Amino acid sequence: MALTGIQIYKFLPKTNCKECGFPTCLAFAMKLAAAGVELSACPYVNDEGKAALEAAAKPPIRLVTIGAGEKKIEVGNETVMFRHEKTFVHPTGLVVRIKDTASADEVAKAVEEISGYSVDRVGMTLGMDGFAIQNESGDAATFAKCVATVSSQTDLPLILMAGDPAGMSAALEKVGDAKPALYAATKDNIDQMVELAKKCGCPLAIRSSDGLNELAELTEKAAAAGVKDLILDPGIRGFADSLVTLTQIRRLALAKRFEPLGYPVITFPGEGASSLDEEAVLAAQHIAKYASIVVIDHFTPALALSLITLRLNIYTDPQKPIQMKPGLYQIGEPKADSPLCVTTNFSLTYFSIAGELESAGWPSWLLVCDTEGLSVLTAWSAGKFDAEKIAKAVKGENAAEKMSHRNVIIPGGVAVLRGELEEELPDWKIMVGPREAMAVGGFLKENWKN
Ligand code: SF4
């Protein structure tokens, strides 16, 4: 909701009838501004008020979906310029371009490698999000054949790239209900592309070769013709100009509520780069500011890992750290006499210590305390990781019944908790582990005698 409580209040009846469950219309308005209640809770808002409030509640950047099924890409709906203001919502879709001039074998090999690529990060399995297939040959039949090959080998979403509506139409026949994005409508072909997008119910990318004014005119034309799911390509490719232009688009959409540019943006870093390294850096820039879909030309596992990690960091809600569910985890196949280590439920902390225990070859019990996703020292200094909490977790998880020993290892960073914890757990020996996760293997080798 972009309006403040006071602005919303102006549209309410101001009778304070309490039917909405709030004592006054102002109280209801304040709650509505904080998205804590639905407008429909007040039965007395007139049509004019409803229209105004609903228009204000409309996301400034439209949510656009590419593909269908579980792996569809959803982009847009962003509401802030900087992630620390609130959060970025829909992670940038990372897509690999395949040209129809490649041989069938090359295409099949690339699709297999890219579709099969995955990486585990903080408990999530991540990978590339789709393919953009380009009609480089200029031939409709060749393009359709290439699209059919890719489509038959992957369930990742597709972007079909053809300037010729006939080629696009032939390719669309090969993808069934896959709902690919169509790239791109320009001032020369917009009428035909709009008709195709309407016919197949697919999102349509709009490309301008003459700046943001032309881009806005084209999106208005497409929207007026009935295609609402649009994607912007401002036609800018370099480092500085794409940074400036993508920032302008985001500002116009959010700060000015300029609807013709209130759509997700697609970029092609390979077209603005003179080397593979430059493509990687430009792709990273676009993920940070402000591309919703980045199409890369050269896939390598190293580049994918870098971009996926960067994207994960940028699109993590800064107010909600990635968390593990509190509980007693098994690292490897621990036995009753295996070490019991304690940590917090900040995902990075968990995966650091779990990874070190695993690579050091120590099957262990890892007790994860609920610290609201904070790391060890932050949680301790915030009063969320203390002796009482650790003792409660040890008892709550019935550690004494699962283990043949009574030794619990706390992180070295909170050695100060040892005395209090000894009081809380009088039957247990409290061991102070290393400050850094990477030292846990050496610590156990020297100190674990069970
Ligand atoms: S139901 Fe509507 S008119 Fe009545 S108090 Fe709530 S907001 Fe005001």
Q: What pLDDT does residue 312 have?
A: 93
Mean pLDDT of 349-353: 93
Q: Under DSSP, is residue 383 helix (H, G, I), strand (E, B) or coil?
A: coil
Band (pLDDT 50/70/90 cuts) for residue 2 is: low
Q: How far apart are CA 102 and CA 175, in angstroms?
A: 19
CATH class of 64-314: alpha beta
| 29 Cβ inside 6 Å of ligand 1 | no
- What is the CA 283 to chain-centroid distance, rounded? 16
Cα–Cα distance, 35 to 23 (Å, whole number): 18
Centre of ligand 1 from the C-alpha of residue 2, in Å: 20
Cβ–ligand 1 distance for 13 under 6 Å, the answer: yes
Please list the helix, strand and coil fractions of the chain in percent, rounded to the nearest 5, in that order: 45, 15, 40
Residue whose C-alpha is closest to residue 330's, from 397, 395, 391: 397
- pLDDT value of position 156: 97
| CB of residue 263 inside a 6 A radius of ligand 1 | no
C-alpha to C-alpha distance for 388 and 284, rounded to whole angstroms: 44
Return the closest-CA partner of residue 20 out of 2, 36, 3, 1.
36
| pLDDT, tens digit (0-9, with 9 covering 90-100), for 269-315 | 999 999 999 999 999 999 999 999 999 999 999 999 999 999 999 99
Beta partners for residue 233, in sequence order: 207
**Cis peptide, bond prior to residue 183, ω within 30 of zero:** no
Q: Quick one: CA dihedral 348, 350, 352, 355, positive or negative?
A: negative
- Whether 318 and 87 have beta carbons less than 8 Å apart is answered as yes
pLDDT score of 295: 98
Q: Per-residue confidence at 349, pLDDT binned at 50, 70, 90?
A: very high
Give the dihedral sign, CA 160/166/171/177: positive
Question: What confidence score (pLDDT) does residue 53 get?
Answer: 83
Return mean pLDDT, the chain. 94
**What is the reported pTM?**
0.80
Please identify, by atom number, the ligand 1 atom nearest to the C-alpha of residue 21: 6
pLDDT of residue 121: 80
Q: Select 327-447's CATH number: 3.90.76.10, 3.40.50.620, 1.10.760.10, 3.40.50.11600.
A: 3.40.50.11600
> Three-state SS for 404?
coil
In this model, does residue 450 exceed pLDDT 70? no
User: How far apart are the C-alpha atoms of 309 and 126, rounded to whole Å?
Assistant: 9
Reported as a single tens digit per residue, the pLDDT across 192-248 is 999 999 999 999 999 999 999 999 999 999 999 999 999 999 999 999 999 999 999
pLDDT in tens, 29-74: 998 887 678 888 999 998 888 888 877 777 899 999 999 999 999 9
Pick the atom of ligand 1 nearest to 13's CA.
3
Extract the tokens encoding 32. 């509505």
Decide whether any atom of ligand 1 lies within 6 Å of the 30 Cβ. Answer: no
| Percent of the chain surpassing pLDDT 90 | 86
More confident residue, 241 or 320: 241
382-404 burial string, b = 16+ CB within 10 Å, else e? eebbbbebbbebbeebebeeebe
Mean pLDDT of 336-342: 97
pLDDT at 107: 97
CATH class of 5-57: mainly alpha
Q: Which amino acid would we find at residue 426?
A: P
Domain-wise residue ranges, the chain: 5-57, 64-314, 327-447
Alpha helices in 23-159 (DSSP H): 25-33, 47-57, 104-116, 140-153
Residue 10 Cα to ligand 1 middle (Å): 12
- For the stretch 376-408, pLDDT in tens is 999 999 999 999 999 999 999 999 999 999 999
